[in-house]
Amino acid sequence: MSDDKKNLAYIGNNEHEQHDFDLPEYESIGAAPAAYSEPETEREFSLQDNKGRTFLTLIVRSTAPASSLPSFLEGQPIGGKVILDLEKPESIKSISVTVQGAARFSVLDDRPFLKVTETLYKCENDTGSRGLLESITGGEKMDAGRREFDFRIILPSETTVDKALWHDAKVNESVRLPPALSSKAWNWAFYYAISVEVKRSGLLSIDDNLKQNIGYTPLVKPPKPSALRLQAYKDKTPIPGPDADPEGWKSFPPVEIKGELFKAKNVTALYSLAIATPLIYAAGTIVHFFLTVESDDEQALALLADPSSPDVSIRRKIKSIPGVGDTGGNLILPGSEEERPIAKVVWCNPPGDQLTGRSATQRVLYGELKLPPASTLRPSFEFGDFHMKYCIDMFAPILTGFATDIKHRLFRTDVVICAGHYGEPSPRSYLPGASAPSSSTENQV
């Protein structure tokens, strides 16, 4: 290899090379790719010598926005081409493309869990037995000029883990691949990278390696909602509530709220929550709720059933990678689970005639939770000792004129967030002035 290639520099649009992105503290690596039918964009990454001449180029095609990292849904091929432009003949032993996934336990502790390699070129006369001169010079050379090599890699949906990644792992246990994910607050990350390796023959030769991060998202599609709700979406009519469509809702036991009203009297109320089923939702879509409020006190009922009163939200639970000193790994911070709110339910009076048949001691509210898009809301997953889960929480309302000693959570149920979508018709919004969400089919396949 010539001296002018000893000092290599990356060029190309590498502004997303680092792991930290916009979502506070926890975020995805690369934007979630769009549907398979979306047009592909090309991202180009290159190596150049110290003369500024580009000699190795990696082109990656994906349906992610051109301004983002190349990103892929589970099952999407990772394709593109490698361009090698030799200024003079060189002894090229092989050219290969590798996609690798790794868990970052700490700054100095990356542990691969996936490696898929496609060999693009291999020297036919590379038998491994050479004379002294050939061992030094590299033997047969590739002619100068430009060569292009196409590649296409499809990642498996699962990989095997051992105790280096998972304390409780069985021998060669298979688990689904995690999404690309990183954290600003911790040193851990799950990342994927594509690399091109150009190996040269000869003792004095130097190999070239061009590496670039990519995004990956496992694909799970939620089941379709009830037939009555699908028909309401299609007809653009109000969705039937739990009474009219019991198969379309998960109704939970009532929770009791006690407090003092206007410092004058003690009151009791019941909140009964119903959540649209199945409890698996695509990022970017809408989740529907009904809340029944009951109280024998007319003032308490009016206050606690006001649309601004209920406090229901979706929260994300992340369990980070635990310490691994007892398994021979590097000592890092012990694992922990952290929760943070993602979005709150917005309430209004029910659409249609949902109030029909209610008693004087009951009120009904309709609620919607607009999930963030897949570019920021990563899917639920478990990988080894790490997990990302979601739940719906309810807390006692904090209201002027109503005092309660209840500080704990009133209600919690787990839900699953996924990247896929069941198809059409999409969930609709029934809040006043709302229209059908435009992002509901962002990752429809």
More confident residue, 169 or 74: 74
pTM, two decimals, is: 0.80
pLDDT at 130: 53
Average pLDDT, the chain: 82
Sign of CA dihedral 130, 132, 136, 141: negative
Mean pLDDT in residue range 324-349: 65
Give me the residues paired with residue 414 across strands: 391
Using one digit for the tens of pLDDT, what is the confidence trace for 387-405? Answer: 899 999 999 998 998 999 8
The pLDDT assigned to 185 comes to: 65
Least confident range of 131-135, 234-238, 244-248:
131-135
pLDDT at 436 over 80: no
Grade residue 16 by pLDDT with cuts at 50, 70 and 90.
Answer: very low
Q: Identify the residue with better confidence: 195 or 425.
A: 195
pLDDT greater than 90 at residue 321: no
Tens of pLDDT, residues 255-284: 999 999 998 899 999 999 999 999 999 999
Least confident of 2-16, 149-163, 371-385: 2-16
Q: Is the pLDDT of residue 292 over 90?
A: yes
pLDDT score, position 365: 95
The mean pLDDT of 21-46, rounded to a whole number, is: 59
Domains and CATH numbers, the chain: 3-217 (2.60.40.640), 227-418 (2.60.40.640)
For 35-51, the pLDDT digits (tens) are 445 688 999 999 998 88
Residues 118-154 pLDDT 10s: 999 998 776 555 554 455 555 578 999 999 999 999 9
